[in-house]
Every structure is written in C-alpha cells, then in structure tokens.
Structure 1
Amino acid sequence: MRAWEAPSVPDVGGTGPRPVVHDTATGKPVDPTRGDDRAALYVCGITPYDATHLGHAATYLAFDTLGRAWRDAGLDVEYAQNTTDVDDPLLERATRDGIDWQELAASQIDLFRRDMEALRILPPDDYVAVTDEVERIAEAVAFLQETGYAYSVPTPDSVGDDLYFDVNRPTESWALGDESRMDRETMLALCAERGGDPDRAGKRDPLDPLLWRAARAGEPRWETVLGEGRPGWHIECSVIAGDRLGLPISVQGGGSDLVFPHHEMSAGHAAALAHQPLAHAYVHTGMIAYQGEKISKSLGNLVTVRGLLDDGADPRAIRLALLSHRYSDDWEWFDAELSSAIRRLAAWDSWATAGAGHADDADDVIARIRARVADDLDTPGAVAAVDTAVAGGTRCTPELVDLVDALLGIRIA
C-alpha cells in the first residue's frame, strides 16, 4: 500500500549520539539497537474510521523523532507500520453511517496520509494494509494451531470455529505478564476494555486472545487455509513486523493504551511463531487529554489535526506544540498550547533571518540539541536549547537551521 510523500531531510555535518529510550518491559533506559548499525522500527497504525486526532499525531511524531535521531547517528533505519483496515470499530462506524466499510477505510487512510505529510512525518518503508496480508496471517495462525499454541472454540453462528491463542503455553521468549508487569485482575479489566472477550464461553483462559474469527453473516470474510473468516487484532502486527523487518526488531512502538493487551499478546504470538522476542524494547507514548478527559473517538472530545489546519494553523506550530511535551508523559491540550507554539515559532523564524549575533556557540547548541534528543527523545529539552540560543544572541547558522530541520522536523525561515 502507498504511504505518503517524504519530507526532505537535510544532511548535517557530524553524527549525533545513539538514542537511548525507555523500555516499558524492563522499566529501564536502553539502546534498542544493541550496537548494531541497523535499527528496525514497527509502530502500530490506525484503525481508519475517523480523523487523525492529536493523540495519534503525538505518537507518530515521537517515533518520527526516534527515526530521525537514529539517522543522525548514522544508522540504517527500516520502518514498518500497518493500518488495521478491517476491524470491529471500523465495521460498526460504517454500519452506523450507512456507507461501505472499504470506502470509509480508504477515505480515512487518505486523510491520515495528508495529515502526516502536513506534519512532515517521515513515512514508513513498508505501509501495510491488513486486508493485503490476510492469507499470510491465516498461514501463521495455521502454524500456531499445528504447534499447539492455538485452539478452536465452537462458534454456532459461523461456518467454522474461532481460534484462540493459549497464553499459558510457555514459549522460549515470552510468558504472560513479562512485558506488562500487571496483576491478573488488571489484565482482565484491560482485556475487556480494549477489544478482548474475557467472558467468551469455551476459552481455556479468559485472557486468551482471538487469532482468527470465523465468518459471520454480513461480515467481511476471506477464503484462506483456515476456511472463511478474518484475522484477530494482535496476530496482524506480529506477522507484519516479523515478515517485513525480521525478529527481533529494535523497537515496537505505540501509545501506552497498547501496552496491554495488544503489545503483550503480539509479543506472545511472535515468540510462538519464531522462537524469538518480538522486540528489544517496547516504547510507549503518553495519553493526551482535552476538556478533562483522554482524547478518544468514543468520547468524541477530539482535537483533530485536520481541524486545526482548516482553522489556519501553521503545521509547524502544531508539530512544535507537541514536541514541547515529553513523548512519554500524559498531558492535557489547551488552546494556549497552539498560541504558545505560534509565538515561539515566530521568534525562531526572526532569529533565523536576523543574521546577527555571535556564531561561537553554534556548535555547542548543535551538540546540546543532539544530546537532548538522544536522551530518551527529550524534545522539550531540545526546544529549550533553541530558545536559549535565541535569547542568548547566538547567531543562527545554516548548520543550526539544518539540524533543527533534521532532528525536530521544523524548517525555520
């Protein structure tokens, strides 16, 4: 599937340090490349049934920053992202609005592309629609069934049985709870809240996730080695990440609401398929609130990228507003966030065009920006380094302009 147009990224002299990021699984800072010259990144994509909100934008911006920092450190970066273009929320929205689910998905993917281009997010090398990978996913589920990791649950209203993953069957590289570090009660609650079906009769364990949904009347279906049906959610990312990047990857990324069950179960599926860990590090972004509640499609308290752009916002200001917060923090969006970013951007633009000041400290500013971004993507620290240079009278050299563009993705005048 086509991704989106890549922004230009200037070449900057020298190289930055290898970035260290916080690994959710261990709770520690790590270099997820482990000294290799290759970095492999997989970020879970959207379910395309509504516009790109700021929570989405902040997540993809965080991993865009990681990719930029890796490239600045001289690494070869491979990046894959999926789009879950068949799933219950998409089907429910299409039914509610009386439109074809494929048309809804296509329109929202196109909107997402335009939003990513506006924000100058580097596109993935592989942008993968789940609907293009159904047969490959079915083959993986069939393998799990043959090796005893998958089992069937009778499904009276379908043409076959649903297939589930046995979370209690040990693997060489995964055991339930290792990545999430949650107690069972919490896992059960999150499973019910985030797409699981802990009350489904016939399962061996309430936490067992769906691998394959047998065909139901009125639902999309594909004829595969498993018969007619469609994939479960977690197995999609396990298969796509493994096929496109090879396992283990450097980083599995996404919002903190994916820690459990999605990333936990994806890791289990990958270990059962490949006898390898899914990733060296699991990196998660915080949640953004608006009007006192986490931004959510279900709540309807959305601040969308497209809405801000349609109101005349400079996309650079949107990007700068998001970069002014730590990627891993939970925080709340206020209208003042954008106003503050607009003022900051104007100051940066004036600084870049003034041509005055002293250039002696420019190299030090470049080093500080690189050091902050490499330290667990501390973009607020990098932004503060630019602010300090502006306030301190450092001349904005072409090298500084290029570095701000290359690492922060903001082209100042």
Structure 2
Amino acid sequence: MYAYIQWDILVRFLRYSGYKVNWVMNITDVGHLTSDEDAGEDKMEKGARREKLSVQEIAKKYIGQFLESMDLLNIQRPDTLCRATEHIKEQIDLIKKIEEKGFAYQTKTGLVFDTSKFPDYAKFSKLNLKKQYAGSRVEIDPEKKQPWDFLLWVTNQPKHIMQWDSPWGKGFPGWHIECTAMSTKYLGNRFDIHTGGKEHIPVHHTNEIAQAYGAFGKQTANFWLHNEWLKINKVKVSKSLGNIILAADFIQKGYNPLSFRYLVMTSHYRQGLNFSWESLEASQNALNNLIEKVKEFTPTRKGVWSPTRSAGKIKDYRKKFADSLDNDLNTPKALALAWSLIKDEKVADKEKYRLLLDFDEVLGLNLAKIKAEKIPAKLLHPVEQLLEQRQKYREQKKWQKADEIREEIKKLGWSVEDTDDGPKVKRLQ
C-alpha cells in the first residue's frame, strides 16, 4: 500500500490547494501475465489455482483485502474504482480504433500493436530497445514485426478461463489496453496525472503512450509520476515473493496502521522505503507524540477564533507547508515542518492546534480522532505464545482446550478469528 498512500497524499494536497480532483483507480482482474510482456500465464488464474478458488472468488478476496487496507490506512476511496473485466466492450472499441488507423496487425497469437508506426516509442523509457531485447529470456513471437510489439488482444489460448468474443477471435485483452480504455472513458482523452511504479516505465506505460497515440494521435496524460519501491530487508515487496504485509497485520502485532502511513511519509515517493518492524515502532512513537501534542493544544472552551500576535508566523507556516508539497510532494519536509510548529514558542497553542489539523487534511493521520496506541513489549509475546499453543490444540482436535485459550486471549484484550490463512487476532474495543 506504499504507493497508494503517496498518491492519496497527492490527491488530498490537490484538493487542499483548491483543485477539483477526479481520481480514477483501476483493478486488473484479467490479462496481466506473469511477465509484463506478452509471456507467462494470467496472474488471476494462477492465483485461483494456487488457492483452489474460482477466478471470481480470488478477485473478490483480494479486492476485499485491498479495500480493507485502504480504510485502515485512511486512504480515501477513489471517485471511480473500475475493473478490467467490467470494461471489455470499451477495450474492444479502443482496439478497433487503433486497428482502423493502421497501428495493428494480426498474428496467430492475436492482434498486435505495430510500434514501427510510432517513431517515439522508446522516447519515454529512454531505452535502447535492440540492446534490451537482445538478451531477453522471454521467447519472442516470430510473427511480430519488432520484438517489442505488444498484444492488444490475445487469442488461441484455449486453457485461459476468462475469454470473450471479439472481431479478432475469442480471447482476452492484453494488459496494457485496459488502462487506456478505462482512463479515457472516465477522464477523456486528455487528463492531468497518471501514476504508477517505476517498474511500469519500460513496458507498461511506454505501451500505454503508444496505444493512445494510435487511437488519438497524442498521449493522454500531461504528467507521469512514478514511485520507487517499498522493500523489506532490501527486497522489493511483491505478491509473487510472498512478502506482502497487510494493514490488518499491523493491528495483529499491536500497531496502529496509521503508524505505517506516518512511516511512508518520512521518505520521498521517488526515494523508496526499506521497511522494518523497528522503523514502524519508531513511527508509532512519533505518531503517539504527535497525537498527544494535538490533545495538549486542544482549546479548552469553544468560541470564535480571535487573531493573535502570531498571525504572521501562521501565514508563513501555511506557505512553507504548501511549498514543500508543491516541490514534488516532499512529505518528509512537510512532516518536519509540523514538528517545527509544535516546538515554536512564538505560536499560541490554539493556533498550533488549528494549523496541525489543517495540515492533517493532507497528511491524513486523523490527529483529532485517534487515540495514542500503546506499543506492545516486543510484539505481544504472551498473545503470540497463547496463539501457538491454541493452534497445536486445534491440530490435535482438542477443541475445548483451544476454546479455553481463546478466552485467555480475550482477557488480555484480543479477539481471535480463524481464517483460511490461519488465526488472526484483533484488539478489542
């Protein structure tokens, strides 16, 4: 969720600055193969087989987890959340337009985009394509005119579960077409900002730009923003590596999920972040202190805010906060400014309170609403030990013993839920 926190802050800041924002987010539930290029198997179908679920069930499961994490991390829901499988017609219509304008050709594997018709194809990624593909381990379709031409519509894959009728045969859309089709449906063929991870630059976003040129004669986005990766032990976080951490996992280990949001803001979106539980603990401490300061500065009586001698300082803080985020979304600088405000003896407490809540419209830490979470002594050892013992009893089918331990855990302030992925604990309210 690292990137989504960064882009949530972007959306919040644009709205804070007076812009009307229409935020569209897509969900790829078909067509994204295990390679970003035209190779491998569909990730949705691979996941369905791995977890012995239908494709629809796997989509529902992970969309549910994603939305739950968004809520726990106080990421605003986008104005439009669109799924690729619900926009097949739009994708087919866009492919037709690209084909009609002479940018596509048919092969045995499907309809392919002809990148030779777009002279600036490699400009966005600044790659030497011939050098890149010379050492590629991906098997290149011999029918492609150029190795980097890419599929718009995939056919002749009878084992693929999700397929639709099309003018080019029964099949499914290539990964890249969905983004162009859905973004232009909801935002028109010219919009301001397109975001993504840096891994999308050489293939996915390069192909999006090519598709847009084929369909509309221009690229659709005015600006492209790419985030660096979140890493754990210096290894990129990804589902394929099995090192994903959900927001619910933070709760299970006794942390406020917003402490992760705080941690994310300590790094610039193009710098990336190396996650550790120690860094999360430090961020929770900082968040706790921030919450306590807001409580300390809270006015004791209601009434009209009256001007103070610190009016000039307040204006200066507002400007510096906006300037830091105007400068390529510099969240570390914005956070540092909040702490400078807290320590500034020349600003009245009530003005600090008002300014911190004003800043929080962008930071999204819910400073006036959440309570400081006490950090557990080294990750809840008593509860973890009880969970392990309970799991042993369950495996031995000693259900009464397992229930007794559940009650012990409850007395410690936690509830236990048994899921397909193992027991999950949640702090009782």
TM exceeding 0.5: yes
The amino acid across from 2:114 in the alignment is D
Q: Is the 8 A contact 1:187 1:260 kept in 2?
A: no
Give the match for residue 411 of structure 1.
366
Q: Which residue of 1 aligns with 2:9?
A: 65
In structure 2, give the amino acid aligned to 1:143. K
Aligned match for 1:207, one of 129, 148, 153: 148
1:83 and 2:27 correspond: yes
1:310–1:396 Cα change, 3 Å = farther
2: distance between equivalents of 1:306 and 1:169? 48
Distance 1:154 1:301 in 2: 37
Q: How many angstroms apart in 2 are the aligned matches of 1:335 and 1:72?
A: 32
State the match for 1:337 in structure 2: 279
Counterpart for residue 368 of structure 1: 320
Matches within 5 A, 1:18-33: none
Structure number with greater Rg is: 2
- In structure 2, C-alpha distance between the alignment counterparts of 1:356 and 1:141, rounded to whole Å: 57
The one of 195, 200, 204 aligned to 1:258: 200
Per-residue deviation, 1:201 = 2.0
The equivalent of 1:379 in structure 2 is: 331
Please name the residue that 1:231 is paired with: 173
- CA–CA distance in structure 2, aligned partners of residues 189 and 307 of structure 1: 43
Indicate conservation of the 8 Å contact 1:164/1:209, yes or no.
yes
Structure 1 partner of 2:37:
none
Give the C-alpha shift of residue 251 in structure 1.
1.0
Which of 117, 120, 126 is equivalent to 1:181?
126
Structure 2 CA distance for partners of 1:337 and 1:182, relative to 1, 3 Å: same
**TM, length-normalised to structure 2:** 0.75
Report whether the alignment pairs 1:133 with 2:67. no
Q: Deviations over 1:135-188 (max 9, x none)?
A: 221121122222211111114xxxxxx1111111137xxx21111112225643
Aligned to 1:147: 101
How many percent identity over aligned positions?
25
**Cα drift, residue 215 of structure 1:** 4.8
Higher relative contact order (Cα pairs below 8 Å, separated by 6+ residues)? 1
Counterpart for residue 344 of structure 2 = 392
Structure 2: state its 5+ residue gaps: 32-41, 300-307, 369-429
Q: 2:258 and 2:134 mapped to 1: Cα distance?
A: 39
SS in 2 for 1:107: helix
Residue 60 of structure 1: CA displacement? 1.1
Q: 238, 261, 266: which one pairs with 1:319? A: 261
Displacement, 1:91?
0.9
Q: Structure 2 CA distance, aligned partners of 1:392 and 1:132?
A: 53
Equivalent-residue separation in structure 2 for 1:292 and 1:66 (angstroms): 26
Shift of 1:359: 7.6
Please say if 1:99 is aligned against 2:53.
yes
Q: Is this contact kept in 2: 1:365–1:389, CA < 8 A?
A: yes
Structure 1 residues 187 and 387, CA gap change in structure 2 (3 angstroms): farther
Q: Residue 78 of structure 2 is aligned with which of 124, 149, 157?
A: 124
- 1:255 is displaced (CA, Å) by 0.7
> In structure 2, what is the Cα distance between the partners aligned to 1:282 and 1:198?
30
1:306 aligns with 2:306: no
Post-superposition offset of 1:122: 1.8
Amino acid at match of 1:410: L
Partner of 1:41: none
1:222-277: per-residue Cα shift (whole Å, max 9, x none)?
12344321100111101111111012211110111111100010011011111122
CA contact (8 A) 2:108 2:155 kept: no
Moved more, 200-209 or 365-374: 365-374
Q: Name the Cα RMSD after superposition.
A: 2.2
- Residue 217 of structure 1 corresponds to 158
The 3-state SS of whatever aligns with 2:357 is helix
Residue 118 (structure 2) aligns with: 170
The aligned length equals 344
Question: Greater helix share, 1 or 2?
Answer: 2
Equivalent in the alignment of 1:110? 64
Instruction: Classify 1:114/1:396 alpha carbon distance in 2 versus 1 (closer, same or farther; 3 Å).
Output: farther
2:183 matched to 1:241?
yes
Q: Is the 8 A contact 1:86 1:130 kept in 2?
A: yes
Shift of 1:106: 1.0
**Normalised by the size of structure 1, how large is the TM-score?**
0.78
Kindly state the Cα deviation for residue 410 of structure 1 after the two structures are TM-superposed: 1.3
Tell me the distance in 1 between the aligned counterparts of 2:367 and 2:131: 46
State how far apart, in whole Å, the 1-side matches of 2:73 and 2:220 are.
29
Contact 1:69/1:407 (<8 A) preserved: yes
> Is the alpha carbon distance of 1:346 and 1:409 closer, same or farther for their aligned partners in structure 2, counting shifts above 3 Å?
same
Distance in 2, matches of 1:391 and 1:403, equals 17
Measure, in 2, the Cα distance between the counterparts of 1:168 and 1:138.
Answer: 22
Gaps of 5+ in 1: 1-56, 156-161
Counterpart in the other structure of 2:231: 289
Structure 1 counterpart of 2:215, which letter? L
Equivalent in the alignment of 1:37: none
Tell me if the contact between 2:264 and 2:273 (Cα under 8 Å) persists in the aligned partners.
Answer: no
**C-alpha distance in 1, partners of 2:54/2:261?**
33
Partner of 1:402: 357
**Distance (Å, rounded) in 1 between the aligned partners of 2:100 and 2:58:** 36
